[in-house]
Amino acid sequence: MDASDSIDCAQRSSSQERSRQVELIRPRDLRGILHFEPAATSFRLGWVGLDFAHYRATPAFEIDYAGQTHHGFTLFARSPDRFAIRFEGVNRLVPPSAGTIILVPAGIPVRAHSSGFKDALHVFLEPGVVERVAAEAFELDPAHVSIPPLDGVQHPQIRAAMLAVRDELTVEGGGDRVTIESLANLLAVHLLRHAAALPRPSRRTEGALPRRKLHAIIDYIEEHLGTDLSLAQIAKVAHTSAFHFARQFKAATGMPPHRYVIARRVERAQQLLRESDDLSLAGIAADVGFSDQSQLSTHFKRLVGVTPGQFRKSAGIASTAAAPSRGELR
């Protein structure tokens, strides 16, 4: 069978699958299909733009469904004993090597079975994120952007982005909204560059933010630090897209928006810890915008070097600058 016959066969198979089942599966619905739970997941955390699941030492399974609502990336940390998967353009009968990635684009029927499934990371990226980044970063018409499958490929940039998503899930409290949106954008950029062999996004509009806009953004972040800030909300203040705003903000401040927001929250927590012994750590976490005390402790220890409790107890501890001061940015 030549290549054209294989494509025709795959297209016929795709049409037959869609005729049997037209409802696409959401990432969180996979638990009902697989009949076992992931070792870790973002499904209940309300992440925007992407979701994550980590499966380890799962029972044997078989799936056959019409496709997913999201682009589904699988990074095999360890190769399974047996694995086969078939979807449009891919007919794999052997396990992929450790460190490789399989991508099933959204809306594609999938058949797969596996046993001895050991360790795999799954990231589910909303197609809307890819479409928005295609338009904003690459000036492409999203209607004409096609995402091809990946079949057991080594892709260091996508792998690094997926591992960063995993690391964010391990943060107590389930990750920061601005960080998750930033990682979704980053993954979309790498996917688009791989899919269409695109060059790096144009830097024509990615100079540093003008001082006036930067001041407005800093004021907005300060006023809303205790809320569930999103990258899109902050970008609106600058009257630009989230993608371009993130690059312009980094050019102006030396750090991406999500790191700046986290650093400012930690800095404000330091201030509150110095000013009062009456506030609980849970109360301080809520006041500065962290989802809970555990998330505060994780970021505080990473940036300051000690836990909030240790910082409070040590009256002589030096104040650690977690972010550029507002004066420096002005």
Nearest to 103 by CA among 161, 48, 144: 161
In the chain, which segments carry CATH 2.60.120.10? 3-196
Please identify every stretch of the chain with a pLDDT value under 70, giving residue numbers as ranges.
1-22, 172-173, 196-206, 315-330
Region of residue 113 (phi > 0: left; psi between -120 and 50: alpha; otherwise: beta): beta
Please give the C-alpha separations between residue 31 and each of 34, 54, 74, 262, in angstroms, as whole numbers. Answer: 5, 12, 16, 32
DSSP for residue 1: -
For residue 268, the model assigns a pLDDT of: 92
Domain 3-196 has CATH 3.40.50.720: no
Distance CA 137, CA 135 (A): 6
For residue 183, the model assigns a pLDDT of: 93
| Homologous superfamily of 211-329 | Homeodomain-like (1.10.10.60)
Parallel, antiparallel, or unpaired: how do β-strands 82-87 and 90-92 relate? antiparallel
- The Cβ-side half-sphere exposure at 79, using a 13 Å CA radius, reads 11
Grouping H, G, I as helix, E, B as strand and the rest as coil, residue 242 is helix
- Encode 53-92: b = buried (16+ Cβ within 10 Å), e = exposed: bbbeebeeeeeebbbbbbbbbbbbeebbeebebbbbbbee
For residue 324, the model assigns a pLDDT of: 59
For residue 18, the model assigns a pLDDT of: 43
In the chain, which segments carry CATH 1.10.10.60? 211-329
For residue 13, the model assigns a pLDDT of: 46
For residue 173, the model assigns a pLDDT of: 65
Distance CA 258, CA 238 (A): 16
Distance CA 30, CA 226 (A): 34
For residue 6, the model assigns a pLDDT of: 39
